[in-house]
């Protein structure tokens, strides 16, 4: 179950140092100089701290190892550290991202909308502005705290194997559900979406068909936006990238 985490962590060079970090109520970020990674802060901080590394004196790889923590505040910082290394525009271009659109890029739903028509689509997590997708596709939303027509998250065991498309929030890495969700989605087109998503070809090796992540373009601005805590401010400091498995 830890293999995808270990590969992401081990891919980070040992000589990169953490230069700053922010653990916010909505977003978190970790920096190594001009490298900057973000992740949505996942609530649930009751687990005993498993890692004792002092973030102010840690290497980026040491900080990334926090992704394995069951203290989700720590794990959020771990995913942000992983993304600091992988989520660069240069890496996204290497994986197939195109810069032809405007500087803020297309989100995953813009990218996929034409291919979802008539499909059974399962979404792990609530995403904004998905109503237009429901006009042409059968959408089922799974949530840990269901609202309205949502399904409770244990329903993933039944819904995902029967879905044509599965869209998973990147924060599933933080709460450790990602390995099982990917396993359940092996017969579907699988997309991992959002600022917590590592832009790494490692995900392709675990069955992900589309990576839709966030690449900061100005580390200082991204760090300030994380401190401010709003999604809109954060997204203005970088670009959403879409990288499809070839």
Tell me which of 86, 120, 138 is where a domain ends. 86
What are the C-alpha distances in Å from 233 to residues 38, 238, 239? 13, 10, 12
CATH number at residue 217: 3.40.50.11590
| pLDDT of res. 135 | 72
Q: Are 102 and 197 in the same domain?
A: yes
Q: Are 74 and 129 in the same domain?
A: no
**Comparing C-alpha atoms, which of 82, 43, 87 is closest to residue 62?**
82
For residue 235, the SS3 value is helix
Q: Are 131 and 239 in the same domain?
A: yes
Looking at the structure of the chain, the number of domains it has is: 2
**Comparing C-alpha atoms, which of 23, 53, 17 is closest to residue 35?**
17
Q: Are 229 and 109 in the same domain?
A: yes
CATH number at residue 71: 3.30.390.100
Report how far residue 192's alpha carbon sits from residue 168's, in angstroms, rounded to the nearest whole number.
Answer: 5
Tell me: the pLDDT tens digits for 28-68?
999 999 999 999 999 876 666 655 457 878 999 999 999 99
0.95 exceeded by the pTM?
A: no
pLDDT surpasses 80 at 162: yes
**Comparing C-alpha atoms, which of 16, 62, 20 is closest to residue 219?**
20
Q: Are 155 and 238 in the same domain?
A: yes
Residue 79 lies in domain = 3-86
């Amino acid at each position: 179950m830890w293999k995808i985490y270990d590969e992401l962590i081990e891919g980070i060079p040992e000589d990169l140092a953490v230069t700053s970090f922010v653990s916010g109520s909505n977003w978190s970020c970790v920096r190594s100089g001009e490298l900057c990674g973000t992740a949505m802060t996942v609530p649930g901080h009751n687990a005993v701290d498993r890692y004792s590394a002092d973030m102010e004196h840690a290497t980026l790889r040491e900080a990334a190892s926090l992704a394995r923590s069951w203290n989700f505040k720590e794990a959020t910082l771990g995913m942000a550290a992983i993304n600091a290394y992988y989520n660069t525009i240069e890496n996204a271009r290497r994986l197939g991202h195109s810069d032809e659109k405007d500087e803020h890029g297309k989100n995953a739903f813009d990218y996929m909308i034409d291919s979802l028509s008539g499909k059974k689509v399962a979404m792990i997590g609530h995403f904004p502005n998905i109503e237009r997708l429901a006009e042409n596709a059968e959408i089922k939303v799974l949530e840990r705290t269901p609202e309205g027509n949502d399904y409770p998250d244990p329903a993933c065991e039944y819904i995902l194997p029967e879905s044509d498309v599965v869209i998973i929030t990147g924060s599933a890495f933080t709460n450790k559900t990602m390995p099982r969700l990917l396993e359940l989605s092996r017969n579907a087109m699988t997309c991992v979406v959002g600022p917590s998503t590592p832009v790494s070809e490692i995900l392709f090796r675990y069955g992900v068909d589309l990576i839709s992540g966030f690449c900061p373009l100005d580390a200082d601005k991204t760090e300030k936006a994380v401190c401010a805590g709003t999604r809109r401010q954060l997204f203005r400091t970088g670009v959403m990238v879409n990288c499809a498995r070839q």
